[in-house]
Amino acid sequence: MESRPFPELRSWRALDRRRDGAHEPVALSPAQARSLERLDSHRTLLFARGYIVYSILTALAAVILGIATGADAVVAVLSCAAVLLVAALVATFRLPLPYGGVAVVVINVIGVVTLDLAYSGAASFDLQLFAVGLSVFVLMFGATRGLRLALTLVISGIFVLLQFVGVDGFLEPALSDERLNRISVANNLLTVSAVLVTVLVLQLRFAAARHILEGSARYGEMQATTDPLTGLVNRRPVIERLTELERDERYDYAIAVLDLDNFKDVNDAFGHDCGDAAIASVADVLADSFRDLDVVSRWGGDEFVVVIARILPSELEGLLERVRRRIENTWFGCAGKETSVTVSIGAARARPARTPHDCLAAADDALYQAKEKGRNRVVTIQHYERSSSSRLPDDPLL
């Protein structure tokens, strides 16, 4: 169980470190979820700018190709495209990404159509529309779903039209088949590279969204099962664990009930803030004294319940005595000075033909005996009968 507070995550690597070895999603507080959303937005913006730079470079390469082949129309159109792409890149630093994104998509489509008309389908410039279509989902980050879908459909329609129109490039006679083949190979490599990088970025975005959703859901679950003061679990996980032990017919566990001594006097003398500090101090000791497979809970008020798994009868009292002494020797700030508290502990070990409820009731009886014997002590009960009273709610969700 992760203790409070939830620090802000400043990188995806920080989330990966927290996930290392975990078998379930990392809980993300609302603030952490927002910080990861900002990181995802920033990463997407960096890629969008990189894609615009790539578009500028390809436009300049097309201008050079146009000059070499004497295609004045290509030079004019792609020169204007390069200038507009630079303006779109600058706009991403001052305006929301979708504004520049729309311009980049439209400019790239015009550039691809121009090159296809100029050099014919043999140069495979129309394949660049695949990369342009995928880039819509990154360049249009934050835009409405309808706008992204509309642009994708328009690009798809243009690609289909270019396949069936049968355009013969007006420069085709001036270019040999070998040169067209070289242009086609270079264009195919650029297209595949752009598509792969775009798919990678989209995959990162999908993974980020999944992490955020799962982490937010995990945080909501933790909020429902965690005591906000101590960071320990509340009653629900304890009840679920006891129900699981009863179902599996396990008898290698013990239950300990701890209660602060004279807690009302602490509250009356120093105030509830000091009482909260005492409870938090005891909770920290308990969280540090038991194993991950044990369930340490704040049962309510100044009372704690611990379900101790796989413990031998000879080990139980010694373990709880060490915990008691450690709490007694732990100091915390209270009313401007250092102080400490003591606890009384009652415990019982599971027995065949007895339910977890019986074991919990026996531990509660042992706690009462510890109080009666002068407090600040451990009392364990080895043999007990079935209990007629219930400490467990009928509904395990309560």
**CA-to-CA distance for 199 and 192, rounded, in angstroms?**
10
Domain coordinates of the chain in residue numbers?
Answer: 12-220, 235-381
Q: Which residues are within 8 A (CB) of 126 and not within 5 positions of it... i.e. 6 or more apart? A: 112, 116, 159, 162, 163
In angstroms, the first-to-last Cα distance of the chain is 20
Q: Given CA atoms 147, 201, 33, 222 in this order, what sign does their dihedral have? A: positive
Q: Which fold has domain 235-381?
A: Alpha-Beta Plaits (3.30.70)
The pTM of this model reads 0.62
pLDDT in tens, the chain (398 residues): 333 444 445 454 545 545 544 456 677 777 778 888 888 888 889 999 999 999 999 999 989 988 988 888 889 999 999 999 999 999 999 888 888 889 999 999 999 888 888 886 677 888 888 889 888 888 887 778 888 888 889 998 988 888 776 555 555 556 667 777 888 888 888 888 888 988 888 888 888 888 888 888 877 777 788 898 998 999 989 999 999 999 999 899 999 999 999 998 888 888 888 999 999 999 999 999 999 899 999 999 999 999 999 999 899 999 999 999 999 999 988 878 888 899 999 999 999 989 999 999 999 999 999 999 999 999 999 889 887 654 554 443 33
Q: Which residues are catalytic?
A: 302
SS3 per-residue string spanning 307-359: EECCCCHHHHHHHHHHHHHHHHCCCEEECCEEECCCEEEEEEECCCCCCHHHH
Residues 47, 208: contact at Cβ < 8 Å?
no
Residues 189, 148: contact at Cβ < 8 Å?
no
Closest Cα partner for 52 from 72, 82, 13? Answer: 82
**CA-to-CA distance for 330 and 324, rounded, in angstroms?**
10
E runs forming strands in the chain: 254-260, 295-300, 303-308, 332-334, 337-339, 343-349, 378-381
